[in-house]
């Protein structure tokens, strides 16, 4: 499908030419596993020397109080981590013991370390998401992060931006969850709950820019750690697929999942969407970095499905990763990868069936496209290299 009519002319002029996207020929498998045994792997980032870093959302844990979360009962623990795959292919964890929450009893769908940024060769910055408005299993009352931290101080790192030092020790750079508690920017668009889940981070000049999937917001962080809101994405009314015909529409939250800076120096923000996760309902927003004003790139219903990550190639091609191409409430588990060239032409990158089960993150390497897969799996997560052109 062409999206030329919806991409600003300035963007098209800045984008480079992207060749047609398809698997390499010659009969070889275009998918190669480069990391295994990961706990709910999410976003990826390369250092300057070619080392790959992976945020692992973890498996939750036995810590109590357990609570009701967005996808059912959940418990939390200190199983979040960051893994490094060096340029020789050696895999090791460089940080562990980070807070994580996960569904019980399957320990899937972990929430914890998610977004990742590498400055230079080894300065690692992550977002540690959660705790995403936990509620008491009996009363339904919201449990504060402070309540979790009273049992284990590690919970204070939920909802933060962290610098991981060379010893693997986290240092808090910003508290996105506390900003949501104090300011709650998306209350103005109909979401009064204190709900924060920082999932992506980039550096722009002297500030960090963070996507908060729980708060439906883009926030900025200055050198002193002060958080300010840049943009909030409103709800959209959608039919409830489980309600009878004629039932009232329900508000679908935006749920931003990734942020990248484009060749035009605007921010591009991907959207997972909240329930009911409609096919074609996930947009990409082009955000003015100064004013926060934004423009959706696609008409309603003509976007993607449950976008998890974005990446710009050096030639300006925009790569888009879907976590589940038939929707998170559909029967399938296969994700999809697309490329949008400078003309606004969208093409799906063809891969063997089963190549992208629940992908969680995307990074462009010197020798291929790297994607984390099985992003909802405890211990079954992997990173694959896609040799496509």
* pLDDT one-digit tens code per residue, 124-176: 999 999 988 889 989 999 889 999 999 899 999 999 999 999 999 999 999 99
Q: Please state, in angstroms and rounded to a whole number, the distance separating the CA atoms of residues 269 and 259.
A: 5
Backbone angles phi, psi at 134, to 5 degrees: -65, 145
* pLDDT one-digit tens code per residue, 27-70: 468 999 999 999 999 999 999 999 999 999 999 988 776 898 87
Q: Both tokens of residue 154?
A: 């590690």
What would the mean pLDDT of 264-271 be, rounded to a whole number? 98
- Give me the pLDDT at residue 342, please: 85
What would the mean pLDDT of 232-250 be, rounded to a whole number? 95
**Does 265 score more than 90 pLDDT?**
yes
**Cis peptide bond N-terminal to 246, omega within 30:** no
- Give me the pLDDT at residue 1, please: 39
Q: Please state, in angstroms and rounded to a whole number, the distance separating the CA atoms of residues 235 and 179.
A: 20
Residue by residue, DSSP assigns 98-117 as EEEEEETTT--S-BSEEEEE
* pLDDT one-digit tens code per residue, 8-20: 333 333 333 233 3
Reported confidence tier of residue 389, pLDDT bands at 50, 70, 90: low
Residues facing 98 on adjacent strands: 80
For the chain, the average pLDDT equals 90
Contact at 8 Å (CB) between 209 and 260? no
Q: Please state, in angstroms and rounded to a whole number, the distance separating the CA atoms of residues 302 and 311.
A: 20
**Does 363 score more than 90 pLDDT?**
yes
- Give me the pLDDT at residue 18, please: 33
- Give me the pLDDT at residue 388, please: 82
**Does 325 score more than 50 pLDDT?**
yes
- Give me the pLDDT at residue 71, please: 77
* pLDDT one-digit tens code per residue, 26-35: 446 899 999 9
Residue 178 or residue 108, greater confidence: 178
What would the mean pLDDT of 189-206 be, rounded to a whole number? 95
3-state secondary structure 11-67: HHHHCCCCCCCCECCCCCCCEEEEEEEECCEEEEEECCCCCEEEEECCCCCCEEEEE
Share of the chain above pLDDT 70, in %: 92
Q: Domain map of the chain by residue range?
A: 4-386
Place of tokens 């990158």: 349
Strands 63-69 and 52-56, by their bridges, are unpaired
Q: Please state, in angstroms and rounded to a whole number, the distance separating the CA atoms of residues 116 and 132.
A: 19
**Does 25 score more than 60 pLDDT?**
no
* pLDDT one-digit tens code per residue, 76-117: 999 999 999 999 999 999 999 999 999 877 767 899 999 999
CATH of domain 4-386: 2.130.10.10
């Amino acid at each position: 499908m062409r999206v030329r009519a919806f991409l600003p002319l300035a963007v098209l002029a800045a984008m480079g030419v992207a060749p047609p996207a398809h698997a390499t020929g010659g009969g070889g498998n275009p998918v190669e596993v480069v990391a295994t045994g990961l706990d709910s792997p999410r976003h990826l980032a390369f250092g300057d020397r070619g080392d790959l870093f992976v945020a692992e959302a973890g498996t939750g844990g036995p810590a109590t109080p357990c609570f009701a979360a967005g996808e059912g009962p959940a418990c939390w623990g200190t199983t979040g981590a960051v893994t490094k795959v060096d340029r020789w292919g050696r895999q090791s964890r460089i940080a562990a013991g980070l807070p994580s929450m996960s569904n019980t009893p399957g320990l899937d769908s972990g929430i914890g370390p998610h977004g990742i940024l590498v400055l230079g060769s080894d300065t690692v910055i992550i977002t540690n998401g959660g705790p995403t408005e936990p509620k008491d299993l009996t009363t339904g009352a919201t449990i504060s992060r402070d309540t979790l931290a009273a049992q284990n101080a590690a919970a204070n790192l939920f909802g933060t931006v962290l610098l991981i030092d060379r010893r693997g020790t986290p240092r808090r750079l910003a508290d996105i969850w506390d900003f949501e508690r104090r300011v709650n920017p998306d209350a103005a668009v109909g979401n009064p709950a204190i709900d924060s889940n920082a999932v992506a981070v980039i550096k722009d000049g002297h500030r960090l820019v963070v996507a908060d999937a729980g708060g439906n917001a883009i926030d900025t962080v200055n050198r002193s750690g002060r958080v300010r809101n840049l943009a909030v994405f409103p709800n959209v009314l959608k039919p409830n697929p489980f309600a009878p015909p004629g039932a009232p529409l329900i508000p679908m939250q935006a749920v931003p999942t990734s942020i990248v800076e484009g060749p035009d120096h605007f921010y591009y923000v991907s959207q997972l969407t909240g329930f009911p996760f409609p096919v074609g309902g996930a947009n990409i927003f082009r955000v003015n970095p100064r004013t926060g004003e934004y423009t959706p790139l696609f008409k309603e219903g003509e976007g993607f499905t449950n976008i998890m990550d974005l990446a710009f190639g050096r030639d300006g091609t925009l790569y888009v990763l879907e976590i589940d191409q038939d929707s998170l409430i559909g029967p399938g588990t296969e994700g999809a990868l697309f490329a949008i060239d400078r003309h606004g032409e969208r093409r799906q990158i063809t891969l063997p069936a089963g190549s992208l089960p629940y992908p969680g993150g995307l990074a462009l390497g010197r020798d291929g496209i790297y994607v984390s897969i099985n992003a909802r799996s405890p211990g079954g997560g992997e990173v694959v290299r896609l040799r496509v052109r």
